[in-house]
Structure 1
Amino acid sequence: MSGEHSGRFAGQVALVTGAGSGIGAAVVRRLVAQGAEVCVADVDGPAARAVAKELPRAHSLTVDVADPAQVDEAFDEVVRRHGRLDVVVHAAGVDDPTAKEWIAEALVAERPPEVTARLGDDAWRRVMRVNLDGTFHVLRGALRVMVPHRSGTVVTVGSSSAFDAQAGYPHYAASKAGVHALSQSVAKEAIAFGVRVNVVAPGPTETGMAARTPAVLRRGFADPRVRPYATAEEIADVALFLASSEAANLVGAVLLANGGRFTV
């Protein structure tokens, strides 16, 4: 990987959402290090600009993935700027800090969490709008660009929560299960046109989202029998593998990257 333009993504153009921090930012840095030109997209414009500023061959866009018009414009901008798009990594997503607090309070009080009956429509829609609707918007935009060229790879970021479905976190679990099913359905459609779609499903990962998790919940995820929290870079490495030619035979895969907490 020596040299500015060497690496397995040399000459390729990538768009990364949720790229202002966490897993998305780690993916951007890995892609640039391996030769790609990268669009750093995030709803937090200053954060996206800060990541892009530190890197060669990177530029930023402010994009709310829940807004289909903004997503479509982001894809149009990448094509206008570069004339092509080879890789999309969709890492944008949100959690629900209030629900996490309710779960933490129940743990401290040694009682079962009671969340669903208290969960408002706005909280439900926010998580679904960003995590599930946003994934649809990004997949649709990617296929509109990639299918005519009969090539491209897309990696969406799901979650191990789609499998273990933590009590008190129904909207997040449902949104990520939807991401998995949506991505797999689209993958079966897209491969006929030379476009590969896959999913990385992280377990607990050290990101800003994790930093906002109440301490009692973080301790609950700690288990000496398994690996500790993943780093954002470790999850980024899985995403880059899925996006690379090394994963040419992976289509509709959901790679569970949870350090051995459970298997499926």
Structure 2
Amino acid sequence: MTQQVSGVGRFAGQVALVTGGGSGIGAAVARRLAAEGCVQVHVADLDEGSAKAVAEEVGGRGHRVDVRDAAAVDALVEEVVAASGALDVVVHTAGVDDPEAKTSILEAQESGEPVDVLAGLSDARWRRVVSVNLDGTFHVLRAAVRAMRPQGRGAIVTVGSSAAFDTLVGYPHYAASKAGVHALSQAVAKEVIAHGIRVNTVAPGPVDTPMAARTPAAVRKKMEASGAIGYATPEQLADNICYLASPGAANVIGAVLLSNGGRFTVS
């Protein structure tokens, strides 16, 4: 279990909620927040067992939540505030990809044929990606703002994707969902700063998470070679996210921080 030292660190005395915290980037963020002084880190994930395992590790509390379910998200935030008395930091990392689309990309890469995902993209696959990635972000943002507005402070960080800018051929639904996350977060940021709430977004390139592990090896190799730096670690993304959530970013509002290994700035 991570030992917390009250009153020490950038997040001394604060209460945090991390969605998607059972693995990957979210788990790394939960560990960093606890190590930097949070008095309570609430870890939420669709996989309740993973959430509770990470929560136990950091001395926090684990919860199950499906971010597609607005009522469940509202209930989670209400439970957090009731248990801890406040909510200072929310980091929303929950998201999904589409393994079937990745397989189609690989098949096209191996055959030399053009990628052909859109024509076969079902409504169900579209809705799954958009409902988790975009609707889920809306649900978390709304619930967090409702909780933070009465206290006149708070920091929220959402996770978008560099794929919203440098779109991967054959991944239209994912790119669209993450572009929506960026626009939604920036619009909310402009609105809620009047209540002392800062909203920012980190837009990763490829990150070595369990989600990335489902990417076919040949596709992964091509993505890794697309930037000056290969796959980022969850801990590197946690550094970026915790900066945006910290007092050190007090003047950063509505930013989309590219954490993509130089994919847009290095040829």
Report SS of the residue matched to 2:94.
Answer: coil
Whole-Å separation in 2 of the counterparts to 1:86 and 1:166: 35
Divergent runs of 4+, >2 A? 222-225
Q: Give 1:49's aligned amino acid.
A: K
Report SS of the residue matched to 1:206.
Answer: coil
1:48 lines up with 2:46 in the alignment = no
**TM-score normalized by the length of structure 1:** 0.97
Whole-Å separation in 2 of the counterparts to 1:126 and 1:3: 38
Change (3 A) 1:224 1:175: closer
Q: Determine the structure 2 residue equivalent to 1:119.
A: 121
Equivalent positions of 1:99-248 (< 5 A) are: 99-223=101-225, 226-248=228-250
> What runs of 5+ residues in structure 1 fail to find an aligned partner?
none
Identify which of 69, 74, 82 aligns with 2:84: 82
Deviations 1:143-178 (A, max 9, x none): 001111110000000000000111110000000000
Deviations 1:37-84 (A, max 9, x none): 10000010011011111222x100100000001100110001110110
Whole-Å separation in 1 of the counterparts to 2:236 and 2:170: 28
Change (3 A) 1:11 1:102: same
Whole-Å separation in 1 of the counterparts to 2:103 and 2:226: 24
State the percentage of identical aligned residues: 62
Identify which of 4, 27, 30 aligns with 2:29: 27
Change (3 A) 1:225 1:188: closer
What is the number of equivalent residue pairs in this alignment? 262
Change (3 A) 1:224 1:201: closer
Report SS of the residue matched to 2:165.
Answer: helix
Whole-Å separation in 2 of the counterparts to 1:188 and 1:26: 28
Q: Determine the structure 1 residue equivalent to 2:63.
A: 61
Contact 2:230/2:261, CA 8 A, preserved across alignment: yes
Q: Determine the structure 1 residue equivalent to 2:5.
A: 4
RMSD across aligned positions (CA): 1.3
Report SS of the residue matched to 1:255.
Answer: strand
Contact 2:160/2:182, CA 8 A, preserved across alignment: yes
**TM-score normalized by the length of structure 2:** 0.96
Change (3 A) 1:225 1:18: closer
Whole-Å separation in 2 of the counterparts to 1:187 and 1:224: 31
Change (3 A) 1:21 1:3: closer
Deviation at 1:103, TM superposition (A): 0.5
Whole-Å separation in 2 of the counterparts to 1:34 and 1:263: 32
Deviation at 1:3, TM superposition (A): 6.4
Q: Give 2:159's aligned amino acid.
A: V
Deviation at 1:223, TM superposition (A): 2.3
Change (3 A) 1:224 1:137: closer
> What runs of 5+ residues in structure 2 fail to find an aligned partner?
none
Contact 2:227/2:260, CA 8 A, preserved across alignment: no
